[in-house]
Amino acid sequence: MKIKNNLILAMDIMELQKAEKVCETIGNQIDTIKIGYPLTLAEGIKTIKIFKENYNYQIICDYKVADIPATNSKIAEQTFKNGADGIITHGFVGEDSVKACQDKADEYNKDLFLLTEMSHPGAKRFLQKDADEIAKMGVEMGIKNYVAPATRINRLKEIREIVGKDSFIISPGVGKQGGEAKKTLEYANAIIVGRSIYESENPKKATEDIIKSTK
Ligand code: O7M
């Protein structure tokens, strides 16, 4: 996936009108947004089409899919049927569950992103121990896109080493969670930023500042 300015906006605003206002303010500095449960549960899955049609954005659906294969397949089917360009799935559930999402992504000719280690402190207790194995599983499965944390650059670097230079890593945790944009982009292909942009008094300037800081 090509991502303008290597920046994905995490659209976790829970009111569609407010979310659209942020998009209008930011203008064409970005071309990709990530929609997750906050907006989908608040305003519905129709939000995918609204952002595609009104702003021509690519939409990555962050549904952190983590169920049995049969259920994962249904979740992925609905996500792609509603226009998503990509879906994020958890890796800890294992190869069969991930493959169910991978098969749907292939069927729709869209992207699958495999979540390895998460960015928050709590991820150290359980997920971190298995994150390398999750990344290795992704490589064995031929997965090209990964999610890895901007808050622990050493871990991001290690995951990059496992998935290889040709894989595509998107990285959350820049800004509010403490990660740095430029440093993160040494190992990731794009950063995911939410609150530092949409909670800012001037989202346009906040976006410009982040983009400038990456150059
Ligand atoms: O910049 P923030 O902290 O406001 O938002 C970060 C976004 O990235 C938010 O949507 C989180 O749900 C998401 N995220 C993480 O913060 N950490 C992770 O480890 C993984 C994700 C994510 O996008 O998962 C796919």
Reading the block at residue 169, the tokens are: 């890593």
The Cα 50–Cα 69 span in angstroms is: 29
Atom 9 of ligand 1, residue of closest alpha carbon: 10
Cα-flanking dihedrals φ and ψ of residue 36, to 5°? Answer: -125, -160
* Residue 176 tokens, joined: 């509010």
Q: Where are the beta strands (DSSP E) in the chain?
A: 7-10, 32-36, 58-65, 86-90, 111-115, 145-147, 168-172, 190-193
| Cα–Cα dist 168/150, whole Å | 14
C-alpha–C-alpha distance, residues 176 and 181, integer Å: 11
Decide: 38 in ligand 1 pocket, CB within 6 A. no
Is the C-beta atom of 175 inside 6 A of ligand 1? yes
Ligand 1 and 8: CB distance under 6 A: no
Instruction: State both tokens at 135.
Output: 């990344």
ipTM value: 0.99
Our separate counts of H helices and E strands in the chain read 10, 8
In the prediction, which pLDDT does 56 show? 96
Q: Using the 8-state DSSP alphabet, how is residue 174 labeled?
A: B
Q: Is the pLDDT of residue 27 over 90?
A: no
- Please write the tens of the pLDDT for every residue from 94-133: 999 999 999 999 999 999 999 999 999 999 999 999 999 9
Residues of the chain with pLDDT > 90, as a percent, come to 100
How large is the average pLDDT for residues 49-78?
98
Choose the catalytic residue: 64, 74, 136, 144. Answer: 64
For ligand 1, atom 8, the nearest C-alpha belongs to 172
Clarify whether 165 is annotated catalytic. no
pLDDT grade, residue 16 (50/70/90)?
Answer: very high
Within 10 angstroms of residue 174's Cβ, the number of other Cβ atoms is 29
Q: Decide: 168 and 146 in contact? Cβ < 8 Å.
A: yes
**Count of residues for the chain?**
215
